[in-house]
Amino acid sequence: MATRTDFGPPDYREMLPPVIKANYGKWLYHERPQPGVLKHVAESGDALYTVRVGSERLLSTDKVRELCDLAEKYCGGYLRFTSRHNIEFLVSDANLLAPLLGELKARGLPVGGTGHSITNIVHTQGWVHCHTPATDASGVVKAVMDELFDYFGTMDLPAYCRISLACCLNMCGAVHCSDIAILGIHRKPPQINHDIVKAKCEIPNVIAACPTGAIRPDPARKSLTVNEDRCMYCGNCYTMCPGMPVADSAGDGVSIWVGGKVSNTRGGPAFSRLVIPYLPNTPPRWPETVAAVKNIVEVWAKHARKHERMGEWIERIGWERFFELSGIPFAEQLIDDFTTAPETYRTTAAFKW
Amino acid sequence: MATRTDFGPPDYREMLPPVIKANYGKWLYHERPQPGVLKHVAESGDALYTVRVGSERLLSTDKVRELCDLAEKYCGGYLRFTSRHNIEFLVSDANLLAPLLGELKARGLPVGGTGHSITNIVHTQGWVHCHTPATDASGVVKAVMDELFDYFGTMDLPAYCRISLACCLNMCGAVHCSDIAILGIHRKPPQINHDIVKAKCEIPNVIAACPTGAIRPDPARKSLTVNEDRCMYCGNCYTMCPGMPVADSAGDGVSIWVGGKVSNTRGGPAFSRLVIPYLPNTPPRWPETVAAVKNIVEVWAKHARKHERMGEWIERIGWERFFELSGIPFAEQLIDDFTTAPETYRTTAAFKW
Amino acid sequence: MADEMKTPLLDDLEKGRWPSFVTDLKQAAAKKASAKDLMGQLEKSYVDRIGHWKHGGIVGVKGYGGGVIGRYTDMPGDFPGVEHFHTIRVNQPSGWFYNTKALRELCEVWDKHGSGLTNFHGATGDIILLGTTTDHLQPCFDDLANIGFDLGGSGSALRTPSACVGPARCEWACFDSLDVCHTITNAFQSQLHRPMFPYKFKIKISGCSNDCVAAIARSDMSIIGTWKGNIRINQDEVRACAQGGMNIQAEVVDLCPTHCMGWDGTTLTLDDRECNRCMHCINLMPKALRQGVERGASILVGGKAPIVHGALLGWVAVPFIKLEPPYDELLEFINKVFDWWDENGKMRERLGELINRQGMGKFLKAMGLKPAPQMIKRPRANPYYFWREGVN
Amino acid sequence: MADEMKTPLLDDLEKGRWPSFVTDLKQAAAKKASAKDLMGQLEKSYVDRIGHWKHGGIVGVKGYGGGVIGRYTDMPGDFPGVEHFHTIRVNQPSGWFYNTKALRELCEVWDKHGSGLTNFHGATGDIILLGTTTDHLQPCFDDLANIGFDLGGSGSALRTPSACVGPARCEWACFDSLDVCHTITNAFQSQLHRPMFPYKFKIKISGCSNDCVAAIARSDMSIIGTWKGNIRINQDEVRACAQGGMNIQAEVVDLCPTHCMGWDGTTLTLDDRECNRCMHCINLMPKALRQGVERGASILVGGKAPIVHGALLGWVAVPFIKLEPPYDELLEFINKVFDWWDENGKMRERLGELINRQGMGKFLKAMGLKPAPQMIKRPRANPYYFWREGVN
Ligand code: SRM
Ligand code: SRM
Ligand code: SRM
Ligand code: SRM
Ligand code: SF4
Ligand code: SF4
Ligand code: SF4
Ligand code: SF4
Ligand code: SF4
Ligand code: SF4
Ligand code: SF4
Ligand code: SF4
């Protein structure tokens, strides 16, 4: 029997609770009765309570079943996950809201992540499953969220603050547009294994993969050479070719980026910008990274106006002021020297002391 | 006798009228008593009246002597020129101001160019002296200034409006940061004369001169070939090599750019942006160009807020609105496709209909 | 088994108030040797400060060219359980909604064939089944097919599209994001399952410009809801907001990027002609303000992460498109994009990079789209433009 | 002679109220055959809609490698008077100030040796003597030297520096722009007169950030005046402005880019710490507001027109430098820049392009400058940075 293929994902309609089916596309407004709880009211008058629960994302089947138990008990057997990997319980019976919240509390499942909170950190595989990481993902996220935990369950920040993590420059966590991004970086050029290169790699593709043109053919060896002066350790050659590993126990670590944003509100989408070029990998709790993120959140929370995202605040006060207020030293690496550099230069004599 | 060399320009101190020598560096404030007249008051209480006179820049020695006559009659024999090629009479005796203005009027020498006026058009050589122009300079300037003349002698515009002209992409007029720029453009690839290329040109330098990499060596002929698909007629190869002329009677013409600025005030310096990719060369009065410039000035004058330069106004209302208000059709060439293109794309879903 | 293994570093991460992935690892490790060895290897990584996976290899299931990420430990002697430890990408239902029956079935399949570890969800949106052996891939897929779950994308293919919660639970969905996601996913099954593109292609779908799936930052094609016509204002509700403590002037009017609003203490005025539909005011007063009635989407193209030539945000290609079933215009547009990219793209060149290399003009022409100022922030500043045949 | 020549197209440009260059051409043509043939050729260009000059050749005077632009007609048969028609670039006095004696002497020299046509001034700032023959070049220069006028720059050399009117007539000059211009010009005479750089190098000097010589847009090095410390406010004069009809709130406070001002109808407040010294408020109220007392300049580098890689605006290299005679620190900095550029620049590579190619970090290091946030608008968005030796 030929395997059945191309049948596509399950129909989402089968996954919707009755209250949603009934009011699909007819929601009128929402409120946030308390942190972690949304109330959506439909034209029909129906109300749906959503309870958002923080998630470690890396779930065991046991944990998934625990969530199913809860969904069956309180939500008619329906639940969803969010685009930031949180769990959402969909409560149509208002009377079940308080009991659900109580049980979540009892089980240590944190409720929050709505509105002006710090919600889940979008992240990636790290040492758990990927072959190119410069840092771990789940461990750093756990350490940071433990420290920022109070911000998850409250909504008192000036605005949204989205934190993301990616364990290498591939940026699977799409950290490049986050209020705060934690990015794993390598700091040593690839250690070429010529035998592997020769046996397994398509030389022209590896050369084309290098953003800075650091790779040249080495025809004598049927391999490659790397101009180490031009290499900025992105690891893209390794993606293309197992003979060019870049990971290094001592060199690898974490960088911190701030001020990115995705939504089109006010100033619109923006890239995150490098503010700390390197912090060491210090498992299990990455205290330097945790402290850096916490400091940035706190400085922003203290100085920003209401509804001002990280980047909007910094663009208002100026980056020179951000470095002063945050106490982060201004490192040379922060000055762009890639092809996009001219956009970032101060092309005006107007700046602050 | 060896020629005397490297003695440098005349000492500016010899060129300063007594009132300036006496109050050098001690000016306190200025006023604009009327269009074209500045009054500078020094800490000493001394006042200096400057009368600014529009200039064609291309002056005959006779005209220079006429200016000297006036300077001797009213200004103790001193005058200056401005960074935009206007003439400034420096009147220290307030009683001579009115007579000077009278005589200027009688001679048809226009007074103006101060404050929120349209001052002289910075421009270049054009067909008068250069070898690479795509249009004339002095003629276009004369035609445009005749039409905008009333704006020179009044100060009722919302803000400064600096107009500049350059006759080719070398942009000697530094038009790239003007409120309105008139730029000569070619529209045909170079017509290669292989004999000249072979005899006179350094092949690698010509190749390096091409911004789009359109030029390749033609070793057989000891000459060059141009990939016409990649050529955008900048003429830089011709600058390097007489065998590659780009000028063309039918193809050449004028483009219009808006929204640039130099001063660091408010939004700071900015590049001008292309809005009309081509208008024909129609000597002696370039009516299409004159009409286009006038239209832009008038639309801006009508809609901008006080102190809002062309570019500041457009950035506030959005370029989509500028095209609507000005009635200028949006041409494909306006969309950047050079290396700077990504900066110019609309990377947000927020735009106006 | 479990008692031999010491993982003091990981154990430390069971402390603290945020849910711990280490707890999940331990739950799985209690049942599965592979999960246990995963923990062991991870502890080793924590000690060594480096990963212990080899460069991935290509593995898969019959008929598909993707959907599985091959993975092998570099310490098979120490951790034989993860000698093979491939992940399976399972296509999530639109909007990540589930009934518990479906979830429980998934768990069963995964307990049978894999480590018992998952990601809900991967960054692209798939359900990630984390770790199985090569010989289990086909049986696992067969069991998944039985419960109605198909694989997602990997490699140089269309990747699993994803959509925000949309009309299912959000008043701002300007079109049916779930249905569009489902329709696209089904329409392009072959492109999803059989890598034959120059590189990966991602589509993300947000019902409004709040962009809750971060489409603009990380998809080659973002479909983002928007509207035409006036924002509907309920002045009573505006006043209620003011009474409730909102500073309408400071929080709403002053932060409107187009400065098209006014507030005199009783009435909110809005010059809709100048509004750029950024959503800020509506976000702040969901009861008082509603989007215009003529709804549809903008399509942005070219978004992606930094590899190779730097990150790109998506940019406006289609300012407005109506999105109603059967979505023919949309599907046709996607097809055209695929064709043009497929034909012109170099190996590993994302759509945005190709457009940058060739110029947006060529892309627009190929798509039959008319250049419009809405597509750019501002016109070009350099004089390097063309008058070649075909250019207007 | 004059009566044979018909120039109907040029004649049309004698009409209208703006001064006509055609009148000047005719004045010169009445005296000089070269000027007459220039007119004739120009009329021909107006008919043909194309220039009639050949590609320039290299001509000059003894001891100098520049200062003259060679020019030859492509119609020597029709216009023999412009068979050679070179221009001489004469270094203007700082600030373009003249006494009439000097001007009259110049006119005499030019009537003797050239066409009698000039530009006051060229776009770089030189006096342009427009059109002479090769054999007149040296005698003309000798006569110029006699009256104290030296040549300006051309070719791959330092170009004639220029400065705004500055302290001579402007209350906002934060340093002596005329003196700095004069000092630099004299200090680098050899670099000005003997092309030996990779390409041209322009220096422009503005006494304050209004930048009245457009330095930031068109000079490889812009020296732009600025200050530290508080803007001095005369509240009476502020009120006088208000009484005079100025809307202080709308025109001044609301347009301040850093929003650091306040106005309550009687008192203007200003948080100088947040002021970026853009000059807007001072420009509007010159009697009421004065710059801070500690004055100096910022040095920006890299500005240029679009050829080859696109136009660049100057960017901040030295946020603050004191500028007082003998300006040693400044001259030393310029020397360092020359050396580094000379050593590293490719042929026809302007300073800004070299910095872009090598990275600002390398430039700063070579200059011994400490990286500061004032040098950038914002930090990098791409993760492509180095940890090589020498990088901090
Ligand atoms: C559930 C979720 C969509 C989904 O399909 O899963 C969602 C749901 C809602 N979003 Fe969102 N957003 C969700 C991810 C996002 C993202 C994507 C991301 O963070 O990766 C964004 C873009 C973030 C960015 O700009 O970097 C996002 C930007 C917004 C905004 C714009 C905020 C701003 O001013 O920039 C709003 C409007 C608001 O809340 O004022 C919004 C508003 C909402 C509303 C109020 C929409 C509604 O009427 O139901 C929902 C509840 C918000 C809340 O958390 O209080 N949602 N929202 C996502 C929850 C993620 C989580 O678990 O925390
Ligand atoms: C004479 C001159 C300097 C020189 O050394 O020759 C000069 C002189 C003055 N400028 Fe200027 N500027 C002169 C070219 C410029 C330029 C350069 C240019 O146009 O190429 C600029 C930059 C223009 C730009 O941004 O594109 C320039 C931008 C300013 C500004 C800033 C205006 C703004 O808001 O953007 C001021 C301030 C003001 O007037 O409010 C200013 C102010 C002044 C003051 C008031 C300074 C003073 O206190 O004396 C002078 C009289 C201004 C007037 O015309 O009303 N000056 N000024 C130049 C006259 C040119 C002409 O003939 O028209
Ligand atoms: C599993 C996942 C991370 C996660 O933990 O969630 C992931 C994991 C990998 N990504 Fe990714 N990417 C994942 C979402 C992303 C995203 C985010 C998104 O899709 O929204 C991005 C950024 C958006 C984008 O594509 O621009 C992303 C950008 C990359 C890149 C850089 C591509 C680029 O053009 O810039 C690579 C490198 C490559 O493809 O060669 C990459 C490559 C990889 C590889 C296949 C490693 C490699 O070099 O071959 C990783 C396999 C890890 C493993 O062993 O399991 N991954 N990757 C995400 C997919 C899960 C899913 O299907 O739901
Ligand atoms: C005379 C003058 C125009 C004018 O009418 O005022 C001029 C005329 C020429 N410029 Fe220029 N440039 C003149 C100021 C400028 C300026 C403005 C400035 O200096 O402030 C610029 C833009 C600023 C800049 O340098 O970035 C300028 C940017 C160019 C360029 C492009 C250089 C670049 O790097 O982008 C070229 C092409 C080249 O050098 O190969 C060029 C080349 C030329 C040549 C020599 C033609 C050539 O291709 O060799 C022109 C000779 C014309 C002639 O026959 O007389 N000229 N040129 C200006 C010099 C007069 C003076 O000394 O005072
Ligand atoms: S960010 Fe890099 S290391 Fe992390 S999962 Fe993606 S490809 Fe792997
Ligand atoms: S790590 Fe990146 S920069 Fe270095 S050689 Fe490899 S591809 Fe090039
Ligand atoms: S802009 Fe071009 S044509 Fe005009 S003077 Fe300069 S180099 Fe010559
Ligand atoms: S005109 Fe410009 S683009 Fe065309 S070949 Fe010459 S240098 Fe290249
Ligand atoms: S993107 Fe818009 S429609 Fe979709 S969930 Fe977010 S707010 Fe609602
Ligand atoms: S949607 Fe945005 S632009 Fe439109 S009125 Fe509201 S805040 Fe202003
Ligand atoms: S640049 Fe400043 S100091 Fe110089 S003239 Fe202009 S306003 Fe005065
Ligand atoms: S100089 Fe500019 S930034 Fe400073 S207070 Fe005045 S307007 Fe504001």
First-to-last CA distance in chain A?
75
In this prediction, residues D56-68 reach a mean pLDDT of 93
pLDDT value of position D390: 45
Q: Can you spell out the DSSP letters for A77-90?
A: TEEEE-TTS-EEEE
| Reported confidence tier of residue A318, pLDDT bands at 50, 70, 90 | very high
User: Could you tell me the distance, in angstroms and rounded to a whole number, from the CA of residue B214 to the centre of ligand 8?
Assistant: 6
The 3-state DSSP class for residue A241 equals: coil
Ramachandran sector of residue C118 (left: φ over 0; alpha: ψ -120 to 50; beta: rest) = beta
The 3-state DSSP class for residue A33 equals: strand
Q: Determine whether the shortest distance from the Cβ of D164 to ligand 11 is under 6 A.
A: yes
Backbone angles phi, psi at A222, to 5 degrees: 55, 40
User: Could you tell me the distance, in angstroms and rounded to a whole number, from the CA of residue B350 to the centre of ligand 9?
Assistant: 15
| Reported confidence tier of residue D57, pLDDT bands at 50, 70, 90 | confident
Of B29, B79, B83, the residue with max ligand 2 atoms within 8 A of its CB, to mutate for a pocket test, comes to B83
pLDDT value of position C389: 59
Q: Determine whether the shortest distance from the Cβ of C72 to ligand 3 is under 6 A.
A: no
- CB < 8 Å to B272, chain C: 381
Could you give the CA distance from residue C134 to residue A172 in angstroms, rounded to a whole number? 25
Contact present, B260 and B271 (Cβ < 8 Å): yes
Q: Determine whether the shortest distance from the Cβ of C67 to ligand 9 is under 6 A.
A: no
**Residue C345 gets which letter from DSSP?**
P
Could you give the CA distance from residue B166 to residue D159 in angstroms, rounded to a whole number? 19
Could you give the CA distance from residue A270 to residue B347 in angstroms, rounded to a whole number? 9
pLDDT value of position C1: 43
CA dihedral (C318, C319, C325, C331) in degrees, to 10, reads 10
Could you give the CA distance from residue A167 to residue D113 in angstroms, rounded to a whole number? 73
Q: Determine whether the shortest distance from the Cβ of C28 to ligand 9 is under 6 A.
A: no
In this prediction, residues D165-186 reach a mean pLDDT of 98
List, for residues B19-66, the tens digit of each pLDDT value. 999 999 999 999 999 999 999 999 999 999 999 999 999 999 999 999
Q: Is the pLDDT of residue A19 over 60?
A: yes
The 3-state DSSP class for residue C336 equals: helix
Could you give the CA distance from residue D80 to residue B25 in angstroms, rounded to a whole number? 51
In this prediction, residues A36-64 reach a mean pLDDT of 98
List, for residues A187-213, the tens digit of each pLDDT value. 999 999 999 999 999 999 999 999 999
**Residue of A28, A38, A60, A92 to mutate for C, most C C-beta atoms under 10 A:** A60
The 3-state DSSP class for residue A287 equals: helix
Residue C244 CB coordination number (10 Å): 9
Of A20, A82, A180, A271, the residue with max ligand 1 atoms within 8 A of its CB, to mutate for a pocket test, comes to A82
* D229-256 residues labelled b (16+ CB within 10 A) or e (exposed): ebbebeeebbbebbeeebebeebbbebb
In this prediction, residues B116-134 reach a mean pLDDT of 98
Shortest CA gap A284–chain D (Å): 25
Q: Is the pLDDT of residue C208 over 50?
A: yes
Q: Is the pLDDT of residue C101 over 60?
A: yes
**Residue A37 gets which letter from DSSP?**
E
The 3-state DSSP class for residue A87 equals: strand
Backbone angles phi, psi at B101, to 5 degrees: -60, -40
Contact present, A190 and A248 (Cβ < 8 Å): no
Residue with tokens 């097919």: C145
Tokens of C8: 């003091």
Backbone angles phi, psi at D247, to 5 degrees: -90, 95
- CB < 8 Å to A212, chain D: 384
Mean pLDDT of chain C: 96
The 3-state DSSP class for residue B228 equals: coil
pLDDT value of position C56: 85
List, in sequence order, every residue forming a beta bridge with C69; answer none if it has no partner.
C87
Q: Determine whether the shortest distance from the Cβ of C351 to ligand 3 is under 6 A.
A: no
Interface of A with C in 133-192 (CB under 8 A): 133, 136, 138-139, 142-143, 145-146, 149, 152, 169-174, 176-177
Contact present, D99 and B72 (Cβ < 8 Å): no
- CB < 8 Å to A268, chain C: 257, 278
* Ligand in nearest proximity to the CA of D280: 12
Among A129-133, A141-145, B170-174, D94-98, the least confident range: B170-174
List, for residues D256-290, the tens digit of each pLDDT value. 999 999 999 999 999 999 999 999 999 999 999 99
Q: Is the pLDDT of residue B2 over 80?
A: no
User: Could you tell me the distance, in angstroms and rounded to a whole number, from the CA of residue B350 to the centre of ligand 10?
Assistant: 9
- CB < 8 Å to B31, chain D: 286
List, for residues C279-333, the tens digit of each pLDDT value. 999 999 999 999 999 999 999 999 999 999 999 999 999 999 999 999 999 999 9
Shortest CA gap A306–chain D (Å): 16
Could you give the CA distance from residue C61 to residue B137 in angstroms, rounded to a whole number? 70
Contact present, B123 and B168 (Cβ < 8 Å): no
List, for residues B129-156, the tens digit of each pLDDT value. 999 999 999 999 999 999 999 999 999 9
Asked if B319 lies within 8 A of C376 by C-beta distance, the reply is: yes
Mean pLDDT of chain B: 97
Residue with tokens 């329906």: A78
List, for residues C128-163, the tens digit of each pLDDT value. 999 999 999 999 999 999 999 999 999 999 999 999
Q: What size, in residues, is chain B?
A: 353
Could you give the CA distance from residue B119 to residue B163 in angstroms, rounded to a whole number? 8
| Reported confidence tier of residue D389, pLDDT bands at 50, 70, 90 | low
In this prediction, residues D83-95 reach a mean pLDDT of 98
| Reported confidence tier of residue B221, pLDDT bands at 50, 70, 90 | very high
Contact present, C156 and C197 (Cβ < 8 Å): yes
Ramachandran sector of residue D327 (left: φ over 0; alpha: ψ -120 to 50; beta: rest) = left
Tokens of D249: 């709130």
pLDDT value of position C390: 45
Asked if B233 lies within 8 A of C387 by C-beta distance, the reply is: yes
| Reported confidence tier of residue A7, pLDDT bands at 50, 70, 90 | very high
The 3-state DSSP class for residue D31 equals: coil
Residue nearest to atom 50 of ligand 3 (CA): A130
In this prediction, residues C101-120 reach a mean pLDDT of 98
Could you give the CA distance from residue A352 to residue A349 in angstroms, rounded to a whole number? 10
List, for residues D295-313, the tens digit of each pLDDT value. 999 999 999 999 999 999 9
In this prediction, residues A77-83 reach a mean pLDDT of 98
CB under 8 Å to A102, separation ≥6 — which residues? none
From B347, C255, D387, select the one nearest A176 (Cα to Cα): B347
% of chain B beyond a pLDDT of 90: 98
Could you give the CA distance from residue D289 to residue A313 in angstroms, rounded to a whole number? 29
Asked if C216 lies within 8 A of A262 by C-beta distance, the reply is: yes
Asked if C312 lies within 8 A of B320 by C-beta distance, the reply is: no
Q: Is the pLDDT of residue D5 over 90?
A: no
**Residue D250 gets which letter from DSSP?**
I
Write the ipTM: 0.97
Could you give the CA distance from residue C248 to residue C262 in angstroms, rounded to a whole number? 9
Residue ranges with strand state E in chain D: 68-69, 86-90, 97-99, 117-120, 127-132, 162-163, 203-206, 221-228, 232-233, 261-263, 268-270, 289-290, 294-301, 315-321
Q: Determine whether the shortest distance from the Cβ of B175 to ligand 8 is under 6 A.
A: no
Q: At what angle do helices B319-326 and B287-303 cross, to 10 degrees?
A: 120
Contact present, A280 and A256 (Cβ < 8 Å): no
pLDDT value of position B174: 80
Tokens of D218: 């068109």
Residue in C with minimal Cα distance to D384: C310
Could you give the CA distance from residue B185 to residue B193 in angstroms, rounded to a whole number? 21
% of chain D beyond a pLDDT of 90: 96
Residue nearest to atom 7 of ligand 5 (CA): A170
Q: Chain-centre distance of CA C376, in angstroms?
A: 24
pLDDT value of position A117: 98
* Ligand in nearest proximity to the CA of C248: 10
Q: Is the pLDDT of residue C3 over 80?
A: no
In this prediction, residues A162-179 reach a mean pLDDT of 95
Could you give the CA distance from residue B154 to residue D183 in angstroms, rounded to a whole number? 38
Rg (CA), chain B: 24
Backbone angles phi, psi at D73, to 5 degrees: -70, 155
**Residue D84 gets which letter from DSSP?**
S
Could you give the CA distance from residue D205 to residue C157 in angstroms, rounded to a whole number? 56
Beta strand pairing call for C203-206 and C221-228: parallel
Could you give the CA distance from residue D106 to residue D122 in angstroms, rounded to a whole number? 16
From A40, A49, A89, A44, select the one nearest A69 (Cα to Cα): A89
Q: At what angle do helices A138-147 and A287-303 cross, to 10 degrees?
A: 40
Q: Is the pLDDT of residue C221 over 90?
A: yes
Contact present, D160 and D152 (Cβ < 8 Å): yes
Contact present, B78 and D100 (Cβ < 8 Å): yes
In this prediction, residues A182-189 reach a mean pLDDT of 97
List, for residues D320-358, the tens digit of each pLDDT value. 999 999 999 999 999 999 999 999 999 999 999 999 999
List, in sequence order, every residue forming a beta bridge with D69; answer none if it has no partner.
D87
Rg (CA), chain A: 24
Residue with tokens 């347009």: D255
CB under 8 Å to D244, separation ≥6 — which residues? none
pLDDT value of position A2: 57
List, for residues C79-98, the tens digit of each pLDDT value. 999 999 999 999 999 999 99
Tokens of D228: 């530290």
Beta strand pairing call for D117-120 and D127-132: antiparallel
pLDDT value of position A1: 47
In this prediction, residues C245-262 reach a mean pLDDT of 97
Q: Is the pLDDT of residue D142 over 60?
A: yes
Burial of D16 (C-beta count, 10 Å sphere; 0-12/13-18/19+): middle
